[in-house]
Amino acid sequence: MSTDPAETGSGPAPTAEGAPLASAAAPAAAAAAEAPGRVAVIVPAAGKGERLGPGTPKALRELGGLPLLVHAVRTLVAARSVDVVVVAAPPNPQGLAEVQRLLADLPGDTRVVAGGQSRQESVALALAALPGDCDVVLVHDAARALTPVDVIEAVVAAVRGGAGAVIPVLPVADTVKAVDGDLVTATVDRSTLRAVQTPQGFTRDILTKAHAASNPSLPATDDAGLVEALGLPVRTVPGHAEAFKITTPFDLVLAEAVLRRRR
């Protein structure tokens, strides 16, 4: 049985200067205290995706024989920095069961929760279900099924580097006009414009605060918009052309072409 030095009057041997030697466990304890938490990715996949035409929810539409959601989650779990993926599925029993079936055989820690009636609600529900040790949270659209792993890693690295909110972006190639009805009112300077992609990355506390302060009746089009509403800065990293959002039937055709080229 060990003896407490405080009870015997003994303790660590003094140094030449009289200060006690540091315990061998102290550096390990300090390192553990400073070690970063895990990275989680939320995938809201409860939407209908009506612009893609009638049928199954958009995240479950097939691309190259597999649902968009499966393509997206496969890439996320392949990213070395990602520890947990939480998918917000359609809230009906059939939708939940189908998403669970599709993701059952994928590697990594992949979880499924019931989503909400809006994208914003789905993200909030998944955020509440995250493991407590995740301190970096990404939000990724299943419809951006072909996003390269490098984009995911760049977003995580930027958050780990000190940014509270990070989005991948691309320069706008087209000329952009402001219009009123069918009348052009101005030509917008596109040099300051960026097209925004996902995954968007955040520290967990900032994303939680942004959703807690949001108004569900005035939904933002992305989570970075909720952070902007708090008056907090949002940083950018380069996006990728293949991270485009599959929204229309033409986008599916383009995605099939990208997939064939990759294969």
| Tens digit of each residue's pLDDT (9 = 90 or more) over 138-180 | 999 999 999 999 999 999 999 999 999 999 999 999 999 999 9
Tally of CB atoms within 10 A around 6: 8
Residue 2 pLDDT grade (very low, low, confident, very high; cuts 50, 70, 90): very low
Give, for 229, the enclosing helix (H) or strand (E). Answer: helix 223-229
pTM, full prediction:
0.85
251: its two tokens = 């986008």
- CA-nearest of 215, 46, 26, 43 to 138 is 43
Whether the CB-CB separation of 152 and 81 falls below 8 Å is answered with: yes
Matching residue, tokens 């939480």: 86
d(CA 150, CA 239): 9
Neighbouring CB atoms inside 10 A of 27's CB total 10
pLDDT-derived band of residue 56, with 50, 70 and 90 as boundaries?
confident
The whole-number average pLDDT for the span 213-232 is 92
Q: Which two tokens stand for residue 120?
A: 């914003």
Note the pLDDT tens digit of each residue in 125-137: 999 999 999 999 9
pLDDT at 206: 98
User: Residue 216 — very low, low, confident or very high, per pLDDT cuts 50/70/90?
Assistant: confident
User: Residue 22: its pLDDT value, please?
Assistant: 43
Give the least confident one: 48-52, 67-71, 166-170, 233-237.
Answer: 48-52
Kindly tell me if the per-residue pLDDT of 14 is higher than 80. no
Q: How confident is the model at residue 53 (pLDDT cuts 50, 70, 90)?
A: low
CA distance 105 to 149: 20
Q: Is residue 43's pLDDT more than 70?
A: yes
Q: What percent of the chain has pLDDT over 70?
A: 84
Terminal-to-terminal C-alpha distance of the chain: 64
Q: Is 158:169 a contact under the CB 8 Å cutoff?
A: no
Where is 13: in which H helix or E strand? none
Q: Are 120 and 211 in contact (CB under 8 A)?
A: yes
Going by their DSSP bridges, the two strands 62-63 and 38-44 should be labelled as unpaired
Residue 54 is predicted with a pLDDT of: 63
